[in-house]
Structure 1
Amino acid sequence: MLGVVVALAAVGAGGRFGARAAGLLVDGGASTAPSGLYAAEDEGVGVVDPALGPGPYPELSPGAVSGSLSDAGLDPSWAVSVRDPTSGDEVFDQNGGQAIIPASNLKLMTTTSLLDAVGADTRWTTSVVAEPDGGYTLVGGGDPLLASTESAYHGEGPRPATSQELAERTARALSAQGVTSISLGYDESLFTGPTRHPDWSEGDMEYVNDVSALTIDQGDDSGDPGAAAARTFAEQLTAAGITVDGEPTARTADGSASTVAQVESLPLSQIVQLCLRHSDNAIAENLLRHLAIAQGLPADFAGGVTALEQRMRALGVWSDADSLHDGSGLSGNNRLTSDTLSRIVVVAAGSDDMRAGLAGMPVAAATGSLETRYLDSSSSAGAGLVRAKTGTLDVASTLTGYTPTADGSIAVFTIVINGSGTEARPFLDRLAAALTGCRCAA
């Protein structure tokens, strides 16, 4: 069984909004965290305090860090990396250079790289265009959160764009032109290639849908999310007073087509925060394709992982042991080192754009994939203080993030246990909580 890397990784294979349990920021949900834990909720910028910045913080003592992990039961087979966020120096390293299965900790790389490439304020547009041949086309712009209606969206925070609003805007524009009936096509050509990865089993599709540039309500199980989205939109357009003749058909919008109506996605910063908080695989794979586009590469799996490697190299967080296959971490063939994972947190802390992602990492005993963890005596010291990305496959459990220590330092960590899945989570949590309770300042 390969070692632990200190870092909080996304729990399990990830979650879809409709399947996750209600939590602190979910409508109608209740926090599992102790009362009085929170300062103030700052919409879109984190839930407990501002995201980790570059410091300065009191320097970490390597000896104290090592002692706290040893006392917490560190196994020599685990991969662990602990860094000082101010200097970026690694103060503890166990198996840190070994290639491990990162599971959903890979999402930290995908999201942080895209924030760096295009900026936290980036938005994507879903539009309806008028074609030269007299038809109309619904054009997908790769908004991973486009909802059918406001009530259909089950996430917390700001509401995403809806196809209902797009249908109403389109109907008003067409009615003003005297148009009451149209033929409708749909264009999802912004993304190319296979819609699911060959490494993903049928069982994996419980945790991710087919990847498309045109989805509504994060797709469905039809195997054709673009067609399903177009049918939903056609029904909404009809309800808004514009008749759609026949079934929508796939097409590529003409370059000279004129825009009739459009809606914009949430800013990338907020999309990333939702992706990390709930370890959302569908969002991650969508963002991987946007990264490929930003790097001038084909918007498919191959182009995405090439773009991700390029960006990781540019950020100085790539090692020769790393190997990428998708953007979500669902593939069991992905490999990263714990050194790589802990380093990305330090790098992100130094950038306004990338730091927006850190604000979305789950909070122990409070939000997202850490909501129901850190509740027993061995890990409760980390409740409300540990902020980390979870990751779980049948063969891997990972955690990457950061925590304040008992004496005012900050410990950035990655902890990885390969060879175990959900049963390894208590060990990860215990080690991270040991850093929270450590008097680790030099």
Structure 2
Amino acid sequence: MRKNLTVAHTRSTRRAARSRRRLTGGLAAGAALALLAGYGVADAYDRVPGILTVTEPIHIDPVPKPEANAGRQQLASPLDTSAPVPADLASRLDELFDDERMTGQLSIDIRDAATNDVLYTRGEASAKTPASVTKVLTGAAALLSLGGESRFSTTAALTSTDGGPAQLHLIGGGDVLLGPGESDPMQVMGHAGLATLAEETAEQLKQRGISSVQLSADVSRYTGPTYNDGWEPNDIGHGFITNISPLMTDSGWTNLRRGAPRHADPVQVAVDQFAEALAAHGIDAEVGGPAAAGDGAEQLAQVESAPVSAVVQNMMLASDNVSAEVLGREVALAAGKPGSGAEAPLAVIETLRGAGLDTGSIALEDVSGLNYGNRISAHDLTTLIQAAAASDGDLSRLIPGMPVGGLSGTLAERYEDPETTPAAGRVNAKTGTLRTVTSLAGTVLTADGRLLVFSLMADDLTPGTAGRGREVFDEAVTLLAECGCS
């Protein structure tokens, strides 16, 4: 390791040690970590979220297809406090964070997960733009306020009419991972399917002697503007976001290939898909404009999403901005506020504050991280992550839902080169990238078996250097993973 060695000799020694070390050792240690238990490893999802620029794009965070566990998920076991705590991290990290590749302003906080003792800080009280690390706040608030086992419902309801055509409403309940086909209980995206809902709805209609309906979408669950002023109009075409609604299929994507755009009107797409599914079961549906079902509507059929804990994990793995924005609105509704884009950031912050977490530095303009106006300090972010690591309740599901280095989500293609492979399988973290921002926050298991929590944030980067700043952060996490430095 790096005790009492010159920098040159240290780096040479580290490279030699890495070449001898097999990745399987790191994976075995990572697999032993209780926080990773019960969560699947993802395969190809082909999604690139999070760039707020219409200029020449930078390469960021390729996201494999999340295969989050859609069933009941295990809560975390208590943290192990027997392993040695790292010491003198400054001698290992200062030079790296001063590297010329890091062109921005830093906010860094590294602590022991079990005791919350501070091990290293730099500018930890300075609030930075977090980019998609904002989703850590949103996911935590959703788990705290909604509960990990709650689900979202999509409903078909019939409005009684006097002499006119039957009015059928497709009511959005916040499941934007709804699939167009049959429900698949083993998946998160597509856990509930419109084809299944249509089959059950058609059966109920036929029992009532109804063979044709006028079909409308009820999206009254959410109010206010559907698009944030801080998002670029071209973000829909780039596939990063779309107009937010409580009803859509496949999170609004046109398809699941890398770089695919989102539908500008995902509600209309979902209604049309439902009408086609009804037709396949002998019901003629004439599609009209959106309309609220009203209190007198009769529920005919309903399908339910995967549990919120799995939806949060899917959001983390895919860095899905649409899921984040919807979860934020659901947090607002749970707090008795309107389900709007304006209320969601306030509700997320208030939920975290209500759980006793530090929120003094937090200012949010959205809950997905696309808006540059978001701010949080590394101190407040690490406080939240440590609380999740030490929790034995719903909040404990947050960290296992994060990408795993070298294995899943936005970290699937990181920690693959010889300089960083020691961290593969040992780091669970949420990534964040905008054109002038890079961030990484989560947990890492040291070589001694001690779990650390960390927040690494840099903004005001020179345009075009976010990738190099990300390299610095990955190397810092690798130093922590290698640490036999008690």
Please tell me the TM-score bracket, short chain as reference: 0.7 to 0.9
Residues 1:340 and 1:272: Cα distance change in structure 2 (over 3 Å): same
The 1-side partners of 2:85 and 2:71 are apart by 34
Report the alpha carbon displacement of residue 68 of structure 1 after superposing the two structures with TM: 2.8
The 1-side partners of 2:61 and 2:457 are apart by 24
- Counterpart for residue 112 of structure 1: 140
Report the alpha carbon displacement of residue 317 of structure 1 after superposing the two structures with TM: 2.9
Report the alpha carbon displacement of residue 226 of structure 1 after superposing the two structures with TM: 1.9
The 2-side partners of 1:45 and 1:367 are apart by 20
Of 340, 351, 355 in structure 2, the residue corresponding to residue 315 of structure 1 is 355
- Counterpart for residue 281 of structure 2: 240
The 1-side partners of 2:137 and 2:337 are apart by 18
Residues 1:256 and 1:219: Cα distance change in structure 2 (over 3 Å): same
Report the alpha carbon displacement of residue 423 of structure 1 after superposing the two structures with TM: 3.2
Question: Is 2:177–2:190's contact at 8 Å kept on the other side of the alignment?
Answer: no
- Counterpart for residue 6 of structure 1: none
Counterpart of 2:398 in 1: which secondary structure? helix
Counterpart of 2:229 in 1: which secondary structure? coil
Report the alpha carbon displacement of residue 227 of structure 1 after superposing the two structures with TM: 2.3
Of 195, 198, 202 in structure 2, the residue corresponding to residue 171 of structure 1 is 202
Of 70, 89, 93 in structure 2, the residue corresponding to residue 65 of structure 1 is 89
RCO (CA 8 Å, sep 6+): is it higher in 1 or 2? 1
- Counterpart for residue 232 of structure 2: 201
Structure 2: runs of 5 or more not aligned:
1-46, 53-59, 254-261
**1:231-262: CA deviations, max 9, x gaps?**
11111111111011x32221111112111111
Report the alpha carbon displacement of residue 132 of structure 1 after superposing the two structures with TM: 2.7
Alignment of 1:131 with 2:142, yes or no, is no
Question: Is 1:51–1:359's contact at 8 Å kept on the other side of the alignment?
Answer: no
The 2-side partners of 1:416 and 1:384 are apart by 22
Alignment of 1:143 with 2:184, yes or no, is no
Of 337, 358, 362 in structure 2, the residue corresponding to residue 297 of structure 1 is 337
Aligned pairs (5 A) from 1:47-86: 53-58=77-82, 61=85, 63-70=87-94, 72-74=96-98, 77-86=105-114
Alignment of 1:215 with 2:248, yes or no, is yes
Of 437, 443, 447 in structure 2, the residue corresponding to residue 406 of structure 1 is 447
- Counterpart for residue 313 of structure 2: 273
**TM-score in terms of structure 2 length:** 0.78
The 1-side partners of 2:95 and 2:484 are apart by 13
The 1-side partners of 2:222 and 2:63 are apart by 32
Residues paired across the two proteins, number: 409
The 2-side partners of 1:213 and 1:197 are apart by 16
Question: Is 1:60–1:411's contact at 8 Å kept on the other side of the alignment?
Answer: no
Residues 1:315 and 1:408: Cα distance change in structure 2 (over 3 Å): same
The 1-side partners of 2:106 and 2:62 are apart by 30
The 2-side partners of 1:51 and 1:191 are apart by 31
The 2-side partners of 1:57 and 1:112 are apart by 24
- Counterpart for residue 438 of structure 1: 483
The 2-side partners of 1:82 and 1:366 are apart by 23
- Counterpart for residue 13 of structure 1: 50
The one-letter code sitting in structure 2 at the alignment partner of 1:298 is: P
Counterpart of 1:160 in 2: which secondary structure? coil
Q: Which structure features the higher share of strand residues? A: 2
Residues 1:24 and 1:182: Cα distance change in structure 2 (over 3 Å): closer
The one-letter code sitting in structure 2 at the alignment partner of 1:118 is: L
**1:167-218: CA deviations, max 9, x gaps?**
1110111112221111112100101111110000123222111110111222
The 1-side partners of 2:160 and 2:177 are apart by 30
> How well do the aligned residues superpose, as a CA RMSD in angstroms?
2.8
The 2-side partners of 1:316 and 1:58 are apart by 27
Structure 1: runs of 5 or more not aligned:
1-9, 27-40
The 1-side partners of 2:410 and 2:444 are apart by 16
Percent sequence identity over matched residues?
31
Question: Is 1:137–1:253's contact at 8 Å kept on the other side of the alignment?
Answer: yes
The 1-side partners of 2:360 and 2:80 are apart by 31
Report the alpha carbon displacement of residue 56 of structure 1 after superposing the two structures with TM: 3.8
- Counterpart for residue 371 of structure 2: 331
The one-letter code sitting in structure 1 at the alignment partner of 2:281 is: A
Report the alpha carbon displacement of residue 114 of structure 1 after superposing the two structures with TM: 1.0
Aligned pairs (5 A) from 1:331-350: 331-349=371-389, 350=391
**1:65-110: CA deviations, max 9, x gaps?**
3233236455595221011111223222110000100001110100
Counterpart of 1:86 in 2: which secondary structure? coil
The one-letter code sitting in structure 1 at the alignment partner of 2:430 is: K
